[in-house]
Amino acid sequence: MRLLIRLRATADARYNNAAHHKLRGRLWKGLDRSEFDDLHDSGRPPGICNSQIFPWGEIETGDQRHVLVAAADRDVLQAVADGLVADREFNVGEMRFRIEEVVPLSPDVGEPGSTGTLETGSGVLVRIPPWRQDEYGIADESDGESLFWRPEYSTEPFQTQLVNNLDRKHNRFQPDYLPGPSDSDGDLFEEYELLKTYALPLTVSEGEQREVVLSKWRFGYRVRDDDHRRHLNLALDTGIGERNALGLGFLNIEDKTLPTGEPA
């Protein structure tokens, strides 16, 4: 479940690619004084993820841009939509827009037998805790702190931490009797293609900024069964990796082929 927000620029502005915290604040503004007001400070995964403003590039008055918002809980997503429709001014720092339209979308990886590709629209944050670094063959260089995943650590810790993280989201947003990603045979994705790794100063809360290491990926998949389909769609709804509420780990379906071999 997600929303496509169509925006029209109301002022010229330089594109700010580090405005994650301000963008989250604008999107969550509609949750204030709603039944989901406490999501801000609950400490639990909120199950909300968003793209950055796209397309990237300098902004001129009258330009059209977009933002996508996804959520695991339909009621939370409806509250976000209600807030956006009620207040159509959409300002993210110096980037100023007016909301023209909010469109509901329901992306789906497809029924069992479908194949396709998912691509991260924003960087993925994966941390490796100190107690697992020896298990992954990572030299002790963290001084007791978690390490941000980097290509030199191999893809094994990335895949394992990614699935563990999705397990926690599954436990929070799916019924207990349904198997989670690590309960199922087979990998979450068939192919992991690393597109790039980069560092970014990220404002994680008001007044607190950290330098983080992010990676962008293209994942190939084949839907094995209904459980696997649910896991992949959960990743679309919540994002992958950590700090999804800041717009990290947002996934898009790049292409999809039906079990019949026809493109979807």
Within 13 A of 16's CA, how many CA atoms are on the CB side? 17
β-strand 208-222 against 115-120: which pairing, if any? antiparallel
Given the residues 12, 38, 41, 87, select the one marked as catalytic: 41
Cross-sheet strand order for the sheet of 64-71 = 48-50, 64-71, 2-9, 95-105, 89-92
Q: Any catalytic annotation for residue 41? A: yes
**Residue 129 — φ and ψ, nearest 5°?**
-65, 155
Strand partners, 205: 208
Q: How far apart are CA 45 and CA 42, in angstroms?
A: 8
| Nearest by Cα to 133 from 152, 115, 114 | 152
- CB neighbours of 181 closer than 8 A, spacing ≥ 6? 163, 166, 167, 170, 188, 231
State which amino acid sits at residue 24: R
Catalytic positions = 41
